[in-house]
Amino acid sequence: MSEVARICSDLIRIDTTNPGAGERRAAEYVAGLLDEVGIEPVVFESAPGRTSVVARVPGDSPDALLVHGHLDVVPADPLEWRVHPFSGEIADGCVHGRGAVDMKGTLAMTLTAVRGWARRGVRPNRDVVLAFLADEEATGEYGSGYAVTYRRELFTGCTEAISESGAFSVQVPGDPGTRIYPVAVGERGTAWLKVTAKGVAGHGSKPAVDNAVAELCRAMARLADHRWPVRLIPAVADLVNGLSEIIGEPIDLDRLEEESLRLGRIGALFRAQIRNSANPTMLNAGYKVNVIPGSAEGHVDGRYLPGYREELLETVDKLLGPKVTREFVNLSGAPSAPYPSPFFDRMCAALVAEDPGARPVPYVMGGGTDAKSFSRIGVPSYGFAPLMLDPGLDYFGMFHGVDERVPVEGLEFGVRVLDRLLG
């Protein structure tokens, strides 16, 4: 068993479900792997069990690159999986379990690369700061948010960062020798909302005067049915143009939604990145079948493109209507990293060096990461977690999905790419 597969499997077997008992056991495991090869870890907690690890590998220049990732994972129901989600089973060429892709596999690649340096006596070309963080799968308050607020000194000298959700391969149909690698240069912003409808409480058998449940349901339906306008920001335009060049056919910029569906997995690279979104996700009302409650609550996952936060909020307010109020559960920015840039070019070169068929392109993530916290202290993050994937594996389907898994060969490829980039 390769080292990267073993570490990935070990991490998966440590249940760090969020919400749950916390990340302490996984943090201690990571700290032990670093300490074993002479890399001194700093372990700290933001609350009992909410544990993060930061370490600095000295290089030839004090200008540092930050490599950050999260230790926590979303819940998984074992009854829905073919193998237990916290087994870390290695079978059929893959490491199986919750976090294999999001993102314990990436943590394993990073640990394997830096442990290899220590054993070989390699000194990176500049300081490399490693951050293994709690709580990314919620708001980041107990992880990256705490780290940049109270342990900012650990990130002194960091000029840029890399993390999850980028540099994975997407096979070009009909061309087995060519693979697209989207390198993330930004992400949509987050606006998680709690929405509340107020009404008049009463007996369920009487005609309702002002039914809060009905009002909330109508508002949520309006949100769900809204067709958000397409907004083509520059980085996504560059992505679409790059994809068009790679596949050798035009992509109609006036029909991007239809084109994203036509192009399948290639189209999925821009499907969520061409507009804002606001999806109802939770409802809560009432306590007894024969009582009309005086209020009803729900939650909405809002995401906005860089520069379009106000459009999102104004539209949500209009759709909710005057009888439904909103408040933020989490509001964070839409960070971006310099592009074009010399560092972007170096990431692309590292991919091509290990896969001559690689065609890197810029990319904007539809979701959010800890990059939002690090942008607050002036450290821009790129999505760069290199994986060469089997063409049949649905990468996006692995995130928070059932039967999450990552190919062992893909992890080993990632270690080689990171070794080239960081070493």
Amino acid at 199: G
Residues 158 and 199 in one domain: no
12 and 140 inside one domain: yes
Are 129 and 209 in the same domain? no
Give yes or no: residues 113 and 210 share one domain.
Answer: no
Task: Based on the fold, state whether residues 125 and 40 are members of the same structural domain.
Answer: yes
- Cβ atoms within 10 Å of 279's Cβ, excluding its own: 12
Whether 349 is covered by a domain: the verdict is: no
Q: Indicate which CATH number applies to the domain containing 46.
A: 3.40.630.10
415 vs 406: CA distance, rounded Å: 14
Angle of helix 408-422 versus helix 342-354 axis, rounded to 10: 140
- 271-328 residue pLDDT tens: 999 999 999 999 999 999 999 999 999 999 999 999 999 999 999 999 999 999 999 9
Domain end call among 332, 351, 370: 332
Assess if residue 32 is contained within a domain.
yes
What's the number of domains the chain is made of? 2
Residues 198-213: tens digit of each pLDDT: 999 999 998 888 999 9
In 83-202, which residue ranges form alpha helices assigned H by DSSP? Answer: 104-120, 144-150
SS3 22: coil
Both 88 and 228 in one domain: the answer is no
Q: Domain of 243?
A: 187-332
pLDDT, residue 392, reads 87
Residue 42 counted as domain residue: yes
pLDDT score of 41: 98
Burial 170-204 (b: 16+ CB within 10 A, else e): bbbeeeeebbbbbbbbbbbbbbbbebbbbbebbee
Contact (Cβ atoms closer than 8 angstroms) between residue 363 and residue 246? no
Question: How are beta strands 94-96 and 405-407 bridged, if at all?
Answer: antiparallel
User: Do 44 and 126 fall within a single domain?
Assistant: yes
Strands, E assignment, 73-225: 90-91, 94-96, 128-133, 158-163, 170-171, 179-187, 189-198, 202-203
Give domain status of residue 346, yes or no: no
Q: State phi, psi for 198 to the nearest 5 degrees.
A: -105, 145
Q: What is the distance of C-alpha 39 from the center of its chain?
A: 27
Structure tokens at 233: 């920001």
| 14 alpha-carbon distance from chain centroid | 20
- How high is the pLDDT of residue 26? 98
Q: Which residues contact 184 (CB under 8 A, 6 or more apart)?
A: 165, 166, 337, 362, 363, 364, 365, 382, 383, 384
Look at the block and give the residue holding tokens 């992400």.
187
191 and 79 belong to one structural domain: no
**Boundary of a domain, candidates 332, 348, 382:** 332
In a domain, 343, yes or no: no
Residues 20 and 138 in one domain: yes
Whether 232 and 378 share a structural domain: no
Let me know whether 66 and 155 are in one domain: yes
Residue 221: give its domain's CATH number. Answer: 3.30.70.360
What's residue 397's pLDDT? 87
| Residue 192 shares a structural domain with residue 224 | yes
Query: Considering the domain boundaries, does residue 347 fall inside one?
Result: no
Residue 355 lies in a domain: no
Residue 80 has pLDDT above 90, yes or no: yes
**pTM (2 d.p.):** 0.94
Query: Would you say residue 122 lies in a domain?
Result: yes
Name which of 134-143, 147-156, 349-358, 393-402 the model is least confident about. 393-402
The C-alpha torsion from 53 through 84 and 99 to 265, rounded to 10°, is 170
Placement of tokens 């059929």 in the chain: 92
